Structure 1
């Protein structure tokens, strides 16, 4: 059991540390709305990954090519939509209203879950890396599979919380720093969105 728990912890940390559209979205939301309102978004994988895990295991740890292309296309368009929202916030940035109230926490977590569900990354990660380990552990003993999942998601969510708090530390540095970081998140989201669209058609 300990072997599967340790594997889950290691892979959860690796998943959170990989730069991607989800991390860029967390950066954008933290800069716009503060870490308190963004913090629930760290729970998004707990909402979106359940159906992904079931789907991947049902298709024997292989995501069909048509589904992968569709996810790249849909995910790319959605990420560009998020980039457009972040760009509008950057363009109309007003230091005197920087502490304004942003989207609700519930909206934040569900929007993050939707973006994660439309991102091919979790499908590929669960089909090629974590899915086979989970399947092997579950077939040996259900407790092994549960230990793997607990280690993975405890570490993943914990690391995402750490990322949000780290980004949140930048907010008190002043409006110019905040606007610059928000601009970086716009560029990152745009790049990831275009990359998703490129992968959809190649």
Structure 2
């Protein structure tokens, strides 16, 4: 049991702090809306990952190539759309704007969940890495499988929340720094989107 808990914690930590489009989106939202309104977006994997885990466990290591390419293309287009929104926030940056409505927070969580669902990385991750571990633990005992999932997602969400808080405190460095980081986030998101499109259209 402890071995599976430790694996869950380790993989959850790696998934949270591995640079990627989802983490970049959280950073850009933090710089735009503030950490208090972005923090709920750390829960997005709980919304999007259920169907992903189910699909990957059922068809473990047999995800069709065309589906993977389609996810890359759809995910790339969606990330570029988010990059454009971040660019607009950078262009129209208002250091005095602090008010965010509840609907904006809910929309941010849904966008984060959609990005995760359209990102091929969770599918590949749960198919090739954590899926086999989950199945192995579940076959020994459902409690072990649930323990692995619990450890993974507690660590993942805590890690994502830490990223949001860290970049939230960078706002104390001043509006110029926040605007510069927002610009970097827009560029990074655009690059991630183009890269995913490339992988979908021109697979190696």
What TM-score, normalized to structure 2?
0.96
SS at match of 2:129: helix
Is the 8 Å Cα contact of residues 75 and 118 (structure 1) preserved in structure 2?
Answer: yes
For residue 26 of structure 2, what is the aligned residue in structure 1?
26
SS at match of 2:162: helix
For residue 132 of structure 1, what is the aligned residue in structure 2?
132
CA RMSD of superposed structures (Å): 1.1
1:82 and 2:82 are equivalent in the alignment? yes
Find the aligned partners of 2:97 and 2:121 in 1 and give their Cα distance: 33
- How many pairs align? 201
Find the aligned partners of 2:93 and 2:104 in 1 and give their Cα distance: 19
Report Cα offsets for 1:35-79 as digits up to 9, x if no partner. 011000000001100000000111123321111001000000000
Is the 8 Å Cα contact of residues 61 and 126 (structure 1) preserved in structure 2?
Answer: no
For residue 164 of structure 1, what is the aligned residue in structure 2?
164
For residue 11 of structure 2, what is the aligned residue in structure 1?
11
1:150 and 2:150 are equivalent in the alignment? yes
Find the aligned partners of 2:121 and 2:176 in 1 and give their Cα distance: 33
Is the 8 Å Cα contact of residues 62 and 128 (structure 1) preserved in structure 2?
Answer: no
Is the 8 Å Cα contact of residues 8 and 151 (structure 2) preserved in structure 1?
Answer: yes
What TM-score, normalized to structure 1?
0.97
1:184 and 2:158 are equivalent in the alignment? no
Find the aligned partners of 2:189 and 2:147 in 1 and give their Cα distance: 34
Is the 8 Å Cα contact of residues 53 and 131 (structure 1) preserved in structure 2?
Answer: yes
Find the aligned partners of 1:120 and 1:132 in 2 and give their Cα distance: 18
Structure 1 ranges of 4+ moved more than 6 A: none
Find the aligned partners of 2:2 and 2:62 in 1 and give their Cα distance: 27
Is the 8 Å Cα contact of residues 21 and 79 (structure 2) preserved in structure 1?
Answer: yes
Ranges in structure 1 where 5+ consecutive residues have no aligned partner: none
Is the 8 Å Cα contact of residues 72 and 196 (structure 1) preserved in structure 2?
Answer: yes
Find the aligned partners of 1:80 and 1:5 in 2 and give their Cα distance: 36
CA displacement at 1:104 relative to structure 2: 2.2
SS at match of 2:60: coil
For residue 98 of structure 1, what is the aligned residue in structure 2?
97
Is the 8 Å Cα contact of residues 37 and 100 (structure 2) preserved in structure 1?
Answer: no
CA displacement at 1:100 relative to structure 2: 4.0
CA displacement at 1:98 relative to structure 2: 3.3
